[in-house]
Amino acid sequence: MLMIENFLISGYTKRESKGVYRFNLNTERSEMSNLELVTEVNGPTYLTLDAHNHLYTVAAENGNGGTSAFSFDGNKGTKLNSVLAPGASNCFVAVDEKRGLVYAANYHLGEVRVYKRLSDGQIELADTVKHEDLHGPKPEQKGALCHFANLTPDNRLVVCDLGNDAVYTYAISDDGKLSDELIYFSAPGSGDRHITFSADGKFAYLACELDSTLEVLAYENGTFTLLQKISTLPETHTGFNGVAAIRLTADGKFLYLSNRGHDSIVTFKVAQNGASVERIGWTATEGNIPRDFNFNKTEDFIVVAHQDSDNLTLFERNKDTGALTVAQKDFYAPEITCVLPY
């Protein structure tokens, strides 16, 4: 019996990509195959699915940017609507099933956007919050740069702002209005990018892009406290690097981050109580600029997407040690920046 799992992938459309794609993973053979176009979208650098087979993507059209909604039958997507505004597109999108909301972060405009999900899957804008420009010390930090917006374990909205070296939390009303802003500041120049939480909701793990570090944070009622800050790089690496994606295993034992420049996945072992990590080592990703990666459903595999070399790499994952072993590389997938199993 063949064990076939499915993935959605998407990214930039500057060279060869036409939008959102899907492919199969044969877990018995440790093999990816059958790359197919799901739907044409301009610049879908991030996407997500809801529980009702609606697909939401970052989108850009004619100098406007925002979020697009699609119905999805498992193979093809049919556009429902787009909500766009003048200027740059969003860079992250997430779904709140309980409230029927969709969240987006807009990097270049330093904004958080909340959309109401309608009964047919279409969206309409519910709220926009623009962050004050606090300017970190590095050249990239020219102002507020929102890179991530998703739910905390206690159902607040958490937003990572790379430009302000900050993590924001908000209370969310049922109609999508944000309030009660709280701010945690990382060390200047950290470049807060993405965050994930322990299963018990007591700890958070923050990927800092600009200083290539991982922060371990205690979390309670919308506030964060720094417990540990550790490099994602070996001391011998002196060239460019920018941390990108971060994933925590469901059992909470291992944490993985991607290094763009060093072009590796760094593996951390998480302490049993979740309050600290130990760096185990690095695995070369067999490509250039590993922008995103994700587990398959059983977490026996990791798929890594390379933005610049247009390839996916498949790793087998040892659940006991966290070790990654290359199973397949050079699977063509153009300009990919987002990987999602479904």
| Alpha-carbon span 246 to 292, nearest angstrom | 8
Contact 115, 176 (CB under 8 A): yes
- Between CA 44 and CA 2 the distance in angstroms is 31
Q: How confident is the model at residue 2 (pLDDT cuts 50, 70, 90)?
A: low
Report residue 254 as tokens.
């291992």
Supply the pTM of this predicted model: 0.97
pLDDT at 1 over 60: no
Tokens (6 digits) for 262: 């060093």
Closest-CA residue to 131 (of 207, 192, 216, 60): 192
- Per-domain boundaries in the chain: 4-341
pLDDT at res. 270: 98
Q: Quick one: which of 308, 314, 266, 257 has its CA closest to 287? A: 308
Q: What are phi and psi of 309, to 5 degrees?
A: -95, 0
* pLDDT tens column, 254-267: 999 999 999 999 99
Task: Return the bridge partners of 283, or none.
Answer: 265
Q: Which of 1, 3, 2, 35 is nearest to 298 (CA)?
A: 3
* C-alpha R_g of the chain: 19
Q: What is the reported pLDDT for 279? A: 98
CA 213 – CA 195 distance, rounded (Å): 12
DSSP 297: T
Burial 266-289 (b: 16+ CB within 10 A, else e): bbbebeeebeebebbebbebbbeb
Return the residue matching tokens 């309608």: 118
Q: Which residue has the tokens 């990097």?
A: 107
What span, in angstroms and rounded, lies between the C-alpha atoms of 159 and 132? 13
The whole-number pLDDT of residue 319 equals: 98
CATH superfamily of the 4-341 domain: YVTN repeat-like/Quinoprotein amine dehydrogenase (2.130.10.10)
Contact status, residue 153 vs residue 195, Cβ threshold 8 Å: no
pLDDT tens profile 289-307: 999 999 999 999 999 999 9
